[in-house]
Structure 1
Amino acid sequence: MAGNSPDRGRTVSTVLGRRLGGELLRMREARSLRQAHAAEALTASVAKVAKIERGLVPIRDPDIRALCHLYGEVGADFIDRLLALAKTDRERRKASGWWNQYPGLQSMAEYVALEDIATSLRTWQVAIVPGLLQTPDYARALAVGNGSWEDPDEIEPFVESRMARQARLSGDRPLELRVVVHEGALRQLVGGREVMKEQLGRLLDVARQPNVKLQVMPYIAGAHPGMTSAFTIVSFAEPGALDVVHMDTTSTTLWLESDTDAERHGSLFDRISRLGLAQHTSVRLINAILKEL
């Protein structure tokens, strides 16, 4: 999602916008109504309804209420959930987000925007230390090792942007962060011994923060349910703003937006967490690995 145009927030499709639009589309089709009926209820064009249902534009609260009335959805809890979802989506679309000043964040802009308004994150990482806990040298070594940068000069702004994201772990509304990271990620010499010593020290420091729970999945855990992929679950404070699951693959970013996917990955994270070491034991293991270096 490139570009910093003032119109950017009105022309992009977001995870939450697509979810909200999908709900409205489902309700309309369940009533066997056409987009023209929705357009008439909104005193708008059919093109606008199509954009709403595809998540391309933010939705005003009066429009949500009007469509719910048209579709016969009058439950207060259900409507409140949609309104909360729309509010979160509008916040995400604000073009003034700090991440827009970092071109290197374009591919992650949607995720970082969600992270910025989230109240909590649960993340399972198999191969690397999570971005919110990385040191500058570790992040830089990962970027260099990735080898996919067309312009090496973009690496430093990328590292700076990653450090800027870590402001969410402190301040007036610190993010609640639960991390389970595999032991192998802590032993992989990303950037060499000195870089890893600093990185492990950073993990020990952040583990002292009351809003952070850090666990290590040890080698001795054997086979476990998180072996196939890493993922992050993003949660929000607003009632009805359901969890969003984010996964990166070698070729694309995958968003899992359904209630079922959120519940499945929440359960999966809990199972992974139960197999991980307790935080105090995880800290002892990190200290042991640090001493080995």
Structure 2
Amino acid sequence: MPAGGKPTVHSRRLGHALKRLRLAARLDQEHAAEAVACSIAKISRIESGAVGARVGDVRVLLDLYAVESADERRRLETLARNSNKRGWWLNFEFQAPSMERLGDYLSLETDATYIRTWQPVFVPGLLQTPEYTRALTEANPEALSEGEADAIATVRQERRRVFEESGARYAAVIWEPALTSPMPSAQVHRAQLAHLMDMAEQPKKTIQVLPHSEWAAARVAPAFVALSYANEAAPDVIVQDTMVNSVIVDDQEDMVGYVHAFDALRSAALTPGQSVAFIRKIMNDIAVEKEEA
């Protein structure tokens, strides 16, 4: 059983993939149960993510479903191996109510090979400075203490370190108001913009600014993150945050609209080079405003 006695993100992803492959092979759960010498009920629980699957059983099922792709087999075997793996974020003593939701997302993000994000309101999490993160945390309606706010900022910076070490590709489209709206101080604002420019210069990272005038494009979708695995360009999962949880979309048909939305956003946005120049101008304007004050 997955850690904690309930489905984990890894077990759900594995179960969904195995079900998709079984249906593509035109086999029913009885065939799968016979192959791994278990009950049909267990196959059903594996496919729902309610229980984990042993690596050996996954290999048998992949053989049964005629999966020949080495990358696909390796990815699913890794999911099976990691179903009970303790997430790095659980090593931090502080666990806010929102950390369970963040933990589900981090389980998805940690394994991703390509991350695409659209953010009309805030700087995307992986691009935030500690000071910017802390300011957002302090504005949280949960009214966290100073120590709790510091702990969340620390977790988010560790998240960025893990991402940097993963070597994943990253593309972000940010609407102009997220960059020009007032921040807690001119110093925090300039530091955040300078960090964005530094990140934009790193390999495998693309940052584009959607001008305020492109309001029609900005309304094609609310903020979302598209995550891809095994070097596939097509997303495997879409994640959207609400006030109380994270909505995970993994149905291929449902994800098509998000793919089209991100393509439209990138087309309407400034080029990466223009975006860096635009961010630099915003930062310089902030500096001038302080000198004139």
One-letter amino acid of the structure 2 residue matched with residue 134 of structure 1: Q
Q: How does 1:68-217 map to 2 (within 5 A)?
A: 73-74=65-66, 76=68, 83-90=73-80, 92-102=82-92, 103-104=95-96, 105-149=99-143, 152-171=146-165, 173-217=166-210
Q: Distance in 2 between matches of 1:125 and 1:273?
A: 12
Q: Is the 8 A contact 2:221 2:258 kept in 1?
A: no
One-letter amino acid of the structure 1 residue matched with residue 224 of structure 2: F
Q: Is the 8 A contact 2:190 2:283 kept in 1?
A: yes
One-letter amino acid of the structure 2 residue matched with residue 111 of structure 1: Y
Q: Distance in 2 between matches of 1:142 and 1:218?
A: 23
**Secondary structure, aligned partner of 1:146:** coil
Q: Distance in 2 between matches of 1:260 and 1:88?
A: 25
Q: Kindly tell me: are residues 260 and 148 of structure 1, through their superposed partners in 2, closer, same or farther at Cα, counting changes over 3 Å?
A: same
In the other structure, the counterpart of 2:247 is: 254
Offset of residue 152 of structure 1 = 5.0
Offset of residue 280 of structure 1 = 1.4
One-letter amino acid of the structure 2 residue matched with residue 159 of structure 1: A
Offset of residue 39 of structure 1 = 4.0
**What TM-score comes out, normalization by structure 1 length?**
0.81
Q: Is the 8 A contact 1:124 1:180 kept in 2?
A: yes
Number of residue pairs aligned between Structure 1 and Structure 2 = 280
Q: Which moved more, 1:175-184 or 1:247-256?
A: 247-256
One-letter amino acid of the structure 1 residue matched with residue 154 of structure 2: E
**Secondary structure, aligned partner of 1:223:** helix
Is it true that 1:221 corresponds to 2:214 in the alignment?
A: yes
Q: Which moved more, 1:156-165 or 1:222-231?
A: 222-231
**Match 1:13 to one of 8, 11, 14:** 8
The superposition leaves residues 55-78 of structure 1 with CA deviations (integer Å, 9 ceiling, x where unpaired) of 1233235434655777xx44646x
Gaps in structure 1 of 5+ consecutive residues: 1-5
One-letter amino acid of the structure 2 residue matched with residue 167 of structure 1: R
Q: Is the 8 A contact 2:138 2:144 kept in 1?
A: no
Q: Kindly tell me: are residues 147 and 237 of structure 1, through their superposed partners in 2, closer, same or farther at Cα, counting changes over 3 Å?
A: same
Report the identity percentage: 29
Q: Distance in 2 between matches of 1:88 and 1:255?
A: 20
In the other structure, the counterpart of 1:283 is: 276
Offset of residue 242 of structure 1 = 5.5
One-letter amino acid of the structure 2 residue matched with residue 55 of structure 1: G
Q: Which moved more, 1:131-140 or 1:144-153?
A: 144-153
In the other structure, the counterpart of 2:291 is: none
Q: Distance in 2 between matches of 1:185 and 1:237?
A: 31
Q: Is the 8 A contact 2:117 2:173 kept in 1?
A: yes
Gaps in structure 2 of 5+ consecutive residues: 287-293
Is it true that 1:23 corresponds to 2:20 in the alignment?
A: yes
**Match 1:273 to one of 255, 260, 266:** 266
Q: Distance in 1 between matches of 2:68 and 2:154?
A: 44
One-letter amino acid of the structure 1 residue matched with residue 125 of structure 2: G
Over aligned residues, Cα RMSD in angstroms? 3.1
**What TM-score comes out, normalization by structure 2 length?**
0.81
Q: Is the 8 A contact 2:200 2:206 kept in 1?
A: yes
In the other structure, the counterpart of 1:3 is: none
Q: Is the 8 A contact 1:24 1:53 kept in 2?
A: no
**Secondary structure, aligned partner of 1:219:** coil
